[in-house]
Copies of this chain bind each other. A is one copy, B any other.
Amino acid sequence: MEKDLFGICPYTTAQRVLSGKWSIIILYHLGKKTMRFGELQRQLPDLTQSTLTKQLRALEENGLIERKIYPQVPPKVEYSLSDIGIKFKKVLAELAIWGNEYIETLKDKNC
């Protein structure tokens, strides 16, 4: 992990972690419970396996999630939120409130 500069603005930092198409929903699902790869994939039918793998690796790199490998066959790998990932749930909660309000405004404009 070769993360760079300190003293970075918290907003810039957050943006870096959240950009992309799937980070928020993945964090939301893992926030509900620890899940295996396959289970998570079933929650998210719109991304392919390789994309999901990449997203998970990125979140792991950034320290938001943890990956626990059980030495079994067939493989078992569990994904869960890290400590800082758990703290992110507060953001998710506000995001959910806001997202719903936003959806309402779209309906009002019926577009």
Given the complex, which residues of B lie within 8 Å of A8, measured CB to CB?
103
**Docked CA distance A84–B102 (Å):** 6
Q: Are A14 and B95 touching (Cβ within 8 A)?
A: yes
- Interface SS majority for chain A: helix
**By the criterion of a CB under 8 Å from any partner CB, how many residues of chain A are at the interface?**
46
* A90 interface residue per 8 A CB criterion: yes
* A12 interface residue per 8 A CB criterion: yes
Given the complex, which residues of B lie within 8 Å of A73, measured CB to CB?
none
Name the interface residues of A74-101: CB closer than 8 Å to any CB of B: 83-84, 87-88, 90-101
Binding site for B on A (CB under 8 A): 1-3, 6, 8-15, 17-25, 28, 63, 83-84, 87-88, 90-103, 105-107, 109, 111
